[in-house]
Structure 1
Amino acid sequence: MTDQITNGALRAIRRILRAAEQGGRRLAATTGLTPSQLLVLQQIEKTGVTTPSVIAATLHFGQATVTNIVDRLEAAGLVTRSRGERDKRQILLRPTAAAGQLVNRAPDLLQERFTDRFESLPAWEQAMILAALEKLALLLDAGDMDVAPLLDAGPIDRPAD
């Protein structure tokens, strides 16, 4: 019986990983972005003007991860960086017009679908799923990992419009 449960859990993990991989490929084909890059870009687009530290805190990404992603987004012409007027140490991020167009045509992210469906569950069920996922992260030695890879995959190759 234990083998059946273990195998069932492993199959479920593989299905989740495959869904994430397919979603990432679909996103890359449509926008040239990785899921992490799109999340950062969406956050910048949503706020209009923000800082890397606010994005890191909002998305629960490491500061180095956000900096790396913003470097790539800036190189692709999707965001601009400027110094704060009052505090020159502060870096302000703004979306470009191209960013808005890209965000609008991006396919639905797996996490958006998950969020919509997860939030419709009763609180007790959400708590059970969260507890199980936290335990799973610990079992896989992923309990303390940054939620986005430090070097978010490769350059942004945007498809021609």
Structure 2
Amino acid sequence: MEKYEELLLALRKVIRATDLYSKQLNKLTGLTAPQLLILREVAAAPDGITASAVAQNITLSPATVSNVIDRLEQRQLIHRERSTEDRRRVVLSLTARGAERLQAAPRPLQEDFIHKFQALADWEQSQLVSSMQRIAAMMDAERLDAADVLEVGSYAQQQFKQNS
């Protein structure tokens, strides 16, 4: 097997693991990974948080976050409320139903990864980061939105819609 074939196989395995996690998450909770990520971010701000702050914290575009927030609000998992201090500011908060869903959600896929990654020597961590950044560049992927939670399904659907 050629080296590039080994690399592509490893990438497909990562994508597959991400896809399986996404399906498990959706089956267990009815949530997608971006929805879970946004719920966690809103829950972490007991005094409320704005959609733009959520987008910045999870490194997704404001438009993507806004669409996900719309769906979460329709499902009564989060609540939008206009600030009494600044009427231009809309604050997000978790509903009781949202808190229940969050409680039932499995741990994020990357938690085990983070523990294993941090156990590596600094030079090895740097080498892996550099290699993945180079792979992203070789795949022309630097401009794509990326969240801290690994999730493939919505990205694949997004790409399909853009190419249709």
TM over 0.5: yes
| Structure 1 residue aligned with 2:160 | none
Distance 2:88 2:121 in 1: 44
Alpha-carbon offset, residue 141 of structure 1: 1.1
Calculate the aligned-residue CA RMSD, in Å: 1.9
Gap runs ≥5 in structure 1: 155-161
Q: TM-score, normalised by structure 1?
A: 0.86
Structural mapping, 1:6-155, within 5 Å: 6-48=4-46, 49-147=48-146
Could you tell me the TM-score, scaled by structure 2's length?
0.85
Query: What secondary structure sits across from 2:93 in the alignment?
Result: strand
CA distance in 2 between counterparts of 1:153 and 1:82 reads 32
For residue 102 of structure 2, what is the amino acid of its counterpart? V
CA distance in 2, matches of 1:140, 1:134: 10
Q: Sequence identity, in percent?
A: 33
Question: 4+ residue stretches of structure 1 with deviation over 6 A?
Answer: 151-154
1:159 — aligned with what? none
8 Å CA contact 1:51, 1:93 repeated in 2: yes
Provide structure 2 residue ranges, at least 5 long, that are not aligned to the other structure. Answer: 158-164
CA distance in 2, matches of 1:116, 1:8: 25
State the number of aligned residues.
151
- Give me the whole-angstrom Cα distance separating, in 2, the residues matched to 1:152 and 1:73: 18
